[in-house]
Amino acid sequence: PVYHQAKFINSAPHVKDAPEDIGLEVAFAGRSNAGKSSAINTLTGQKSLARISKTPGRTQLLNFFSITETTRFVDLPGYGYAKVPLEIKKQWHRMIETYLNNRKTLCGIVLVMDIRHPLTEFDRQMVDWCKQTRLPLHILLTKADKLKFGAAKNTLLAVQKEISGAQVPVTVQLFSALKRQGVDEIHQLLDQWLNF
């Protein structure tokens, strides 16, 4: 798959440091520890493209990866370390908001959730934001290997039910970086978003 060509471009401390806003970009969001880095590494077929070990409080960077010359992924900083000071949280909020509101090439958001803790407050904010801006949203319920198949399926249905009724495409799938479950499914969706 084309995604295996992914290469790190840069880490941007501010939105103004992002690569030129041309082409198509997919953003990955999620609560810290949800499994976002593992998901990015798995779907790009790389061991450590997105760094797995991150220091709380030092996660305020937008990390850009090129797929092809005109397509990119951006790894948004993980949200929700309890120990991060309020001021840092506010900064984080402003940066995400600035990015989401201004990035012309943004064509979809992948929201990564730990299947055992779906739809946190932050997740709901992202869902609402996507509904408002009519941006396609895809939810990865990751660490699906942590639940029995029936329980995973029930969570999938429950999340689907809760987020339905949006004017925009909102899709949900099971995923496991550990078992490489759901990789084809997300590749197919990204192919549509990025016109591959």
The least distance separating ligand GDP from the CB of residue 138, rounded to whole angstroms, comes to: 16
Comparing CB distances to ligand GDP, the nearer of 142 and 155 is 142
The span from the CA of 131 to the CA of 64, in Å, is 24
Please state whether beta strands 7-12 and 71-75 pair in parallel, antiparallel, or not at all (unpaired).
unpaired
Q: Which uninterrupted H or E stretch holds 191?
A: helix 183-193
Half-sphere exposure of 187 (CA within 13 A, CB side): 14
Spatial strand order in the sheet of 71-75 = 7-12, 62-68, 71-75, 24-30, 106-114, 137-142, 170-174
Q: How many residues does the chain have?
A: 196
The least distance separating ligand GDP from the CB of residue 148, rounded to whole angstroms, comes to: 13
Size of the site for ligand GDP (CB under 6 A): 17
Comparing CB distances to ligand GDP, the nearer of 30 and 136 is 30
Segment 97 to 116, residues that bind ligand GDP, using CB under 6 A: none
The answer to whether residue 157 forms part of the interface with ligand GDP (CB under 6 A) is: no
The answer to whether residue 146 forms part of the interface with ligand GDP (CB under 6 A) is: yes
Among 9, 88, 119, 178, binds ligand GDP (CB under 6 A): 178
- What is the widest separation between alpha-carbon atoms in the chain? 45
Comparing CB distances to ligand GDP, the nearer of 24 and 39 is 39
Among 3, 18, 24, 36, binds ligand GDP (CB under 6 A): 36
Can you give the binding site for ligand GDP, defined by CB under 6 A? 30, 32-38, 52, 78, 142-143, 145-146, 176-178
